[in-house]
Each structure stands twice: as structure tokens, then as C-alpha cells.
């Protein structure tokens, strides 16, 4: 709690590896501008990290849901906690925005393995690439064996890396590869004891409400697709169930990308819907709110320090009061406001 | 006719001497009736171009009779309304007429009216020459006789003051710090107003010349001798800020001061409760202002009154607004906030706010669509053939 309001620099190498796709686009721009990625330490993130430290990993994983108003910093807190996990050496499964999988998909193929499902090869291969970048050191360790199509099969004992490569190269079966990867990780996460194969699994999903909401994709006969019918979504849902052990599930809700939900909805019950809520119960809710005085002060000083606030009036007391009023201490609005000052 | 001639001079001077009042020359009483045809002009309260109306179309007799009838009618009206006929003012007359003849007409000028005949019948110039065609006024052939005779008078007064100055110097009593005329809070009469008084058209240069002469008169130390004359040409300006009614400051059971005010803009109505609690929360229609007004411009509009007065984090605002679009709602809220702030702020600040435009209701409304056009201004495609 002493650290709230302080800025915590993410090392550049970590950013490249851990978050090839994970950070909000505006934050990525900010990193590029300032040449460094600094995250503010905030109570929700600290809370999450303390839970992670205290949790017992022989039991099924705890589910944490970050919820809050639009623009209060849920994704950032999630990334912060994820970075902690990364430094601890966990294996990271990070879905940066589940909403991207339920809308604007160009290619929707009927699944090769199961008849009633639909594949999304582009999204799946994209995700596999990112997964590879993030978890390079684990790829040689894990073993498995699967049947893909009639012609291809992976023998037992093949490392995970090969599987991932196969998924990246063969677009057709990439969604199934994703499913397989996830299943393997689940099985192996708590399974192996201390020694070579042990690792803890951190599953991070942003935009959790996409998994149980509606999609905007249509099937060939012009009826709406259910999220159930998408392979990727189905596999991720299986991950969300806590029938495995040895890890943690960190999630964040998001209203901005969600489909068919009003803008005022931000509570888990509203955004997840009944089905999602039942699935995710029990979970640990962590609420994220606007900056308080100290945090606002710290953000303001950070921008000043980086010479981001060019206008001379913004340096005075009056200017600060104006900023407080206009943004109501909301992080994203403040950021957008300062962007043109 | 010579008799009428000199009487005419006097009458014209007399006419000129009482500015804005009785311009009707009482000639016809003293002189046998000239063969004039009385043509009744349609009455209207707004003054038309009086000089162009030409010589008088009403006789003085007629006007006097109207005045008598008006007075008698006023007493009757007072009796009807049950009020005292002696102290029955024009406002009371207007009120009574509006009560007795309720009219649904939109055009205020078309409603029934009872005013003094001087306000109804336009002022006109009398015939300015006698039966033989000789003009009465010595400056008639200048074309603008009233104007030039006014200049003549002013110059006479200047000369009189100079003579007075010399006399004082001779006596050795000359001092520069004599009583000065107070000119603050008044302005010179406008060209239109002077034209109305003189019943003559004057050009802009003439007007400037007149004002220069008056300024010259004012620059002399002993001008206070002619104070009354000069003040006839100055019009008092009302103090603007006294027009605003400040909403009363009420107190909560907890002792927190609050005030309530309304505001309107373009069919959006807003009502606000401003509490002096010390936090800066703003709730509109039950939602946070950040959610209700995602657009920065609207939030800036809300911020402006508080920023101007410098009381940003002090008030809690609870508002309800309905109607029109988001910008209009923001404008209505802004007006309401400014009005509510009046009760928390000193007199000088009120004047500053008025000058900043915070207290003025924006009169712009949606313009009507006209027939034959696509919209208010947009025309149909113009085809040459």
C-alpha cells in the first residue's frame, strides 16, 4: 500500500516478449512516445498480486474478475499482474481481447474435427504465434500426442513447440491445435511435481464477457452464430472451469468491445449474463475505479515529468483543477485529454 | 399675414424649444383656418420617418380633442377598474386594457392599445411658410432649419459662457475647478433620436458636428451654467446588472447552503440544485456527468461558470435536464449553474459574469422552414429553364 501511485517501469525486453498483443493500443502508443512503458501501481493490481502470492496451488485455481467502469484501468491492472506472473516464471496463456474472436471474422470454416463447430484460422494462428513468443522457454518441455487429420498425427513425446509450429503453418487445423494446447497445459499444469516439468499456469482473459455474450458472426445460411459453436470460444470456456490445478485464472470484463450491451453496464452480473455468471461462480471480484487524489497527482506529475503537458496553463493549479473536472479522474479520459495539451 | 409670420417664428422656436414633446404648433387657433384637408394616417406606435411625412395632416384642434377624450377615457377606465382616477398611471391603463380586452394575437402591436395621443399620432412639422409663401424661420432656406437653429443656439451658449468667463477674470474670481457636470451613466442621444426630436433628416456628418459642438461646450470650465440644456441631449443608461433576480439561498436541515435555479436553451430545460458541500461531484439525471456527457465540449460548458468564479471543487451539483440535443442541454445547464451561483457571489462578480455572457440566455432557436424552399435557407436546385 505504500507503493500506490508510484510508477513501475516494465523492462522493454519483457514488453516485447510478454505483450506482443496484450496491451491497450493507446498504451502502446504511449510506450512508443515515451520510450518506456510505465504502469501505475494501483490497489486492484496490488490486491491481485497479493492473492496470487497467498494462493494454494495444489487446489483448483481461483478465478479473479476485474470489473469496473469504462476506462478505469482494468486491462492495465491485468497486464500488471500478468507481468508479475511472468517474472515468477509461470506459463502465460493470455487472450488479449476475447471480443476480437466474436466479431469481424473474415473466414469462418466448418470445423474439421467436429461437425457442428466453426473454426477461425486467422485468429487462431495469430494467437499461436503470440503464444510462442511469450512462452518460448516452455515449448521444448511439454510432451503430448494427437491425431489431426487422417494424414497427420503427432506422436507421443513431441514437444509443445512442434505442435505450435504445426498450428501456425497449417491454418486449417490451427483452431484444433489451440484446443489441444490448452488441454495439454491443463493436464500438465499441476500434474508434474517439482522437477523438470513443473510450471504454474496463468490464464488471462480480457473481455471475458465475450465468451458468453452474442457474436456478430453469421453462418452461411445467414443465421447468427452462437459463441458455443466457435471452437476457440469453446476451448477457452473449458479452460475457465476449475477442474485443473496449479495455476490462476485472471480475467477482466470489458464493455467497450462488447456487443449488444448498453454503455452503462459494468457489473459482472450485467456484462456476463446469467450463463456466464453461473459458469464463473465462484469467483473473486476485484473492482477498479477512477483515480483517487494521490493517484491523480502521481499521473499528473508523471506527464509533467515526461514533458507531455506542453501548455503552460496546465502546469498551474488552475489547470490542474480543470483537468480534474474535465476528466473526473478517469484514467483513459485524462490520457486522451492530455494527449492534445 | 405678417402677424401670422412673426407668430410663426415664435411658434417654431417654441416648438423647437421643448424637445420631444409638443411639436404641434398652436397656429390654427390664432389664425383663420387654412384650407387644409385632414387626411388621417393609420396610427402605429413605432415612429416612421417623420420628416418624410411632410407637413401636418392632423390639425392641432383635432389633436387637442383627442387628448381631452383620452383624459376622460382614462378616468372612466379608472372608475371601471375601481381604482383612484387621480393616480392612474399608463402602466395601470395597459394592465386594465389587457384585462378587459384579452387578445390572442401573437403580434403585440396588433393588440388593443390605449395610449396618450402624442404617442399615437406621429409628430409632424407644421406648415413653415405663410399664405404668401414667405417662410417663418430665418434659416428656412438652409433646408434643415431646426438643425441649424440648434447649432446656432449651442454656439450662442458657448459665447455666453465665454463672456461669463471674461467677466470672472476681470473680477479676479476665475477658477478652473468649478462644478462639473456628471456624465457617467449616460450617453449622447443617437442620430435617430435627434432626428425624431427635430422632425428632420440629418446626415451623419451633421450629427458628428453637433456632438463636437456639445463636447466643446462641455470642455469649458463654466459649462455647469448650461447643465440643464446639455442633459436634454444625454440619455441615462440603466444599470444592467440590477435586472437579474438572484435565487434565494436556502439552508438544508444539516446547515448546508444550497440554491436552486433553472436554465433554458433551444427547447432544452434544465433545473439545478447547487450545494455548498465541498466536493466536486456532479450528477445529471441520476448519472455521473462523465457518463452523461461523453463529449469534452459539453463538460467544458459545465465547467465554465465554476471556473470563472473560481469555486471549482466547492459545489455539489445535482441537475435534471430534458429536451433537445446534448449541446443544448449542456448550454441550459450552464445557464442554470450561473444563475444558481449568483446567490453565492458578490455584486462585482455578478457584473463580471454578466459581461462574460454567463447570464444571458442564448436567444437562438431553430429557424422556420419556409415554403418553396428545402429548409430554412436551402433552396431547391436552381434550373435555368
The predicted structure's pLDDT at residue B270: 93
Cβ within 8 Å of residue A334, ≥6 positions away: A291, A296, A299, A323, A327
> Does the pLDDT at position A167 exceed 70?
yes
The predicted structure's pLDDT at residue B39: 56
Contact B287 A264 (CB under 8 A): yes
A337 touches chain B (CB under 8 A): yes
The predicted structure's pLDDT at residue B272: 92
Of A263, A264, A321, the CB nearest to B313: A321
User: Cα separations (Å) of B158 from B182, B209, B375?
Assistant: 19, 15, 60
Mean pLDDT of chain B: 82
Over residues A47-66, the mean pLDDT reads: 82
Q: What CA–CA distance (Å, rounded) separates A166 from A160?
A: 10
Q: What CA–CA distance (Å, rounded) separates A92 from A250?
A: 11
Q: Which of B275, B347, B364 is nearest to B315 (CA)?
A: B275
Cβ within 8 Å of residue A27, ≥6 positions away: A37, A76
Cβ within 8 Å of residue B160, ≥6 positions away: B225
Q: Which of B335, B139, B125 is nearest to B244 (CA)?
A: B335
Q: What CA–CA distance (Å, rounded) separates A165 from A177?
A: 10
* Burial class of residue A317 in the structure, from the number of CB atoms within 10 Å of its CB (0-12 exposed, 13-18 middle, 19+ buried): exposed
A328 touches chain B (CB under 8 A): yes
Of A264, A325, A330, the CB nearest to B280: A325
Greatest Cα pair distance, chain B, in angstroms, is: 89
Q: What CA–CA distance (Å, rounded) separates B262 from B273?
A: 9
Q: Among all residues of chain A, which has the CA nearest to that of B311?
A: A321
Chain B: closest CA distance from residue A23 (Å) = 24
The predicted structure's pLDDT at residue A191: 56
DSSP-assigned beta bridge partners for residue A258: none
What digits encode the pLDDT tens for the residues B231-264? 888 888 876 656 778 888 888 888 888 899 999 9
Using a pLDDT cut of 90, give the percent of chain B over it: 31
Q: What CA–CA distance (Å, rounded) separates A191 from A194?
A: 10
B261 touches chain A (CB under 8 A): no
3-state secondary structure of B288: strand
A326 touches chain B (CB under 8 A): yes
pTM: 0.70
Query: Is B213 in contact with B155 (CB distance < 8 Å)?
Result: yes
Predicted ipTM of the assembly: 0.80
Interchain CB contacts (distance < 8 Å): A and B: 30
B42 touches chain A (CB under 8 A): no
Contact A328 B296 (CB under 8 A): no
What digits encode the pLDDT tens for the residues A95-138? 888 888 877 777 777 776 677 778 788 888 888 888 888 877 77
Residues in chain B: 385
B100 touches chain A (CB under 8 A): no
Say which range, B72-86, B113-127, B191-205, has the weakest mean pLDDT.
B113-127
Say which range, A120-124, B130-134, B192-196, B315-319, has the weakest mean pLDDT.
A120-124
Q: What CA–CA distance (Å, rounded) separates A161 from A148?
A: 16
HSE toward the beta carbon, residue B40, CA cutoff 13 A: 7
CA B150 to chain centroid: 24
User: Cα separations (Å) of B112 from A61, A132, B89, B358?
Assistant: 87, 90, 17, 37
> Does the pLDDT at position B56 exceed 70?
no
Residues in chain A: 341
Angle between helices B2-17 and B145-171 (to 10 degrees): 70
The secondary structure of residue A88, as a DSSP letter, is T
> Does the pLDDT at position B36 exceed 60?
no
Contact A326 B288 (CB under 8 A): no
The secondary structure of residue B64, as a DSSP letter, is H
Confidence of residue A193 (pLDDT cuts 50, 70, 90): very low
Mean pLDDT of chain A: 79
The secondary structure of residue B135, as a DSSP letter, is B
3-state secondary structure of A293: helix
Amino acid at each position: 500500500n505504500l507503493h500506490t501511485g508510484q510508477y513501475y517501469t516494465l523492462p522493454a525486453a519483457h514488453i516485447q516478449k510478454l505483450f506482443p498483443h496484450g496491451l491497450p493500443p493507446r498504451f502502446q502508443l504511449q510506450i512508443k512516445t515515451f520510450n518506456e512503458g510505465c504502469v501505475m501501481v494501483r490497489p486492484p493490481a496490488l490486491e491481485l498480486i497479493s492473492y496470487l502470492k497467498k494462493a494454494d496451488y495444489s487446489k483448483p485455481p481461483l478465478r479473479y474478475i476485474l470489473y469496473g467502469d469504462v476506462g478505469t484501468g482494468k486491462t492495465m491492472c491485468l497486464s500488471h499482474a500478468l507481468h508479475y506472473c511472468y517474472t515468477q516464471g509461470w506459463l502465460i496463456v493470455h487472450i488479449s481481447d476475447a471480443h476480437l474472436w466474436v466479431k469481424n471474422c473474415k473466414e469462418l470454416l466448418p470445423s474439421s474435427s467436429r461437425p457442428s463447430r466453426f473454426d477461425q484460422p486467422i485468429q487462431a494462428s495469430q494467437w499461436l504465434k503470440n503464444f510462442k513468443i511469450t512462452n518460448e522457454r516452455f515449448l521444448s518441455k511439454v510432451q503430448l500426442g494427437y491425431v489431426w487429420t487422417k494424414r497427420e498425427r503427432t506422436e507421443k513425446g513431441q514437444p509443445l513447440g512442434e505442435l505450435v509450429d504445426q498450428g501456425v503453418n497449417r491454418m486449417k487445423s490451427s483452431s484444433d491445435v489451440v484446443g489441444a494446447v490448452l488441454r495439454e497445459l491443463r493436464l500438465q499444469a499441476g500434474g508434474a511435481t517439482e522437477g523438470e516439468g513443473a510450471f504454474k499456469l496463468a490464464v488471462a482473459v480480457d473481455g471475458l464477457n465475450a465468451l458468453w455474450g452474442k457474436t456478430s458472426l453469421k453462418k452461411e445460411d445467414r443465421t447468427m452464430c452462437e459463441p458455443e459453436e466457435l471452437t476457440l470460444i469453446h476451448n477457452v470456456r473449458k479452460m475457465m472451469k476449475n477442474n485443473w490445478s496449479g495455476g490462476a485464472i485472471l480475467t477482466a470484463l470489458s464493455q467497450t468491445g462488447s456487443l449488444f450491451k448498453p454503455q452503462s453496464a459494468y457489473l459482472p452480473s450485467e456484462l456476463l449474463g446469467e450463463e456466464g455468471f453461473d459458469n464463473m461462480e465462484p469467483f473473486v471480484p476485484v473492482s477498479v475505479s477512477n483515480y483517487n487524489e494521490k493517484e491523480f497527482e502521481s499521473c499528473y506529475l508523471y506527464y509533467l515529468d515526461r514533458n507531455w503537458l506542453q501548455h503552460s496553463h496546465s502546469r498551474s493549479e488552475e489547470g490542474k483543477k480543470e483537468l480534474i473536472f474535465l476528466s473526473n479522474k478517469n484514467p483513459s479520459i485524462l490520457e486522451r485529454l492530455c494527449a492534445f495539451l | 399675414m405678417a402677424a401670422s409670420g412673426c407668430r410663426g417664428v415664435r411658434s417654431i422656436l417654441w416648438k423647437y424649444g421643448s424637445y420631444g414633446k409638443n411639436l404641434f404648433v398652436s397656429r390654427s387657433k390664432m389664425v383663420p383656418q387654412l384650407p387644409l384637408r385632414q387626411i388621417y394616417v393609420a396610427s402605429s406606435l413605432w415612429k416612421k420617418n417623420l420628416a418624410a411625412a411632410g407637413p401636418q395632416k392632423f390639425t392641432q384642434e383635432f389633436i387637442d380633442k383627442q387628448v381631452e377624450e383620452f383624459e376622460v377615457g382614462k378616468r372612466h377606465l379608472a372608475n371601471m377598474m375601481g381604482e383612484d382616477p387621480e393616480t392612474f398611471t399608463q402602466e395601470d391603463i395597459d394592465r386594465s386594457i389587457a384585462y378587459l380586452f384579452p387578445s390572442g394575437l401573437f403580434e403585440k402591436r396588433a393588440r388593443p392599445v390605449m395610449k396618450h395621443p402624442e404617442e399615437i399620432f406621429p409628430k409632424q412639422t407644421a406648415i413653415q411658410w405663410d399664405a404668401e409663401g414667405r417662410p417663418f424661420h430665418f434659416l428656412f432656406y438652409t433646408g434643415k432649419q431646426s438643425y441649424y437653429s440648434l447649432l446656432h443656439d449651442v454656439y450662442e451658449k458657448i459665447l455666453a459662457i465665454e463672456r461669463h468667463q471674461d467677466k470672472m477674470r476681470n473680477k479676479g474670481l476665475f477658477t478652473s475647478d468649478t462644478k462639473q457636470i456628471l456624465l457617467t451613466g449616460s450617453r449622447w442621444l443617437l442620430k435617430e433620436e435627434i432626428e425624431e426630436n427635430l422632425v428632420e433628416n440629418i446626415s451623419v456628418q451633421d450629427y458628428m458636428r453637433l456632438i463636437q459642438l456639445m463636447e466643446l461646450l462641455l470642455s469649458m470650465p463654466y459649462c455647469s451654467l448650461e447643465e440643464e440644456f446639455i442633459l436634454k441631449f444625454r440619455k441615462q443608461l440603466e444599470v444592467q446588472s440590477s435586472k437579474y433576480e438572484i435565487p434565494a439561498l436556502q439552508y438544508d436541515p444539516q446547515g448546508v447552503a444550497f440554491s436552486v435555479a433553472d436554465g433554458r436553451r433551444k427547447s432544452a430545460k434544465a433545473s439545478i440544485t447547487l450545494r455548498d458541500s465541498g466536493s466536486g461531484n456532479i450528477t445529471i439525471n441520476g448519472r455521473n456527468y462523465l457518463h452523461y456527457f461523453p463529449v469534452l465540449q459539453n463538460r467544458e460548458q459545465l465547467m465554465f461558470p465554476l471556473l470563472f468564479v473560481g469555486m471549482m471543487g466547492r459545489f455539489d451539483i445535482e441537475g435534471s435536464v430534458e429536451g433537445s440535443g446534448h449541446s443544448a442541454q449542456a448550454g441550459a445547464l450552464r445557464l442554470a449553474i450561473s444563475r444558481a451561483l449568483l446567490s453565492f457571489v458578490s455584486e462585482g462578480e455578478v457584473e463580471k459574469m454578466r459581461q462574460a455572457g454567463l447570464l444571458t440566455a442564448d436567444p437562438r432557436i431553430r429557424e422556420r422552414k419556409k415554403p418553396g424552399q428545402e429548409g430554412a435557407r436551402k433552396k431547391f436546385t436552381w434550373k435555368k429553364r
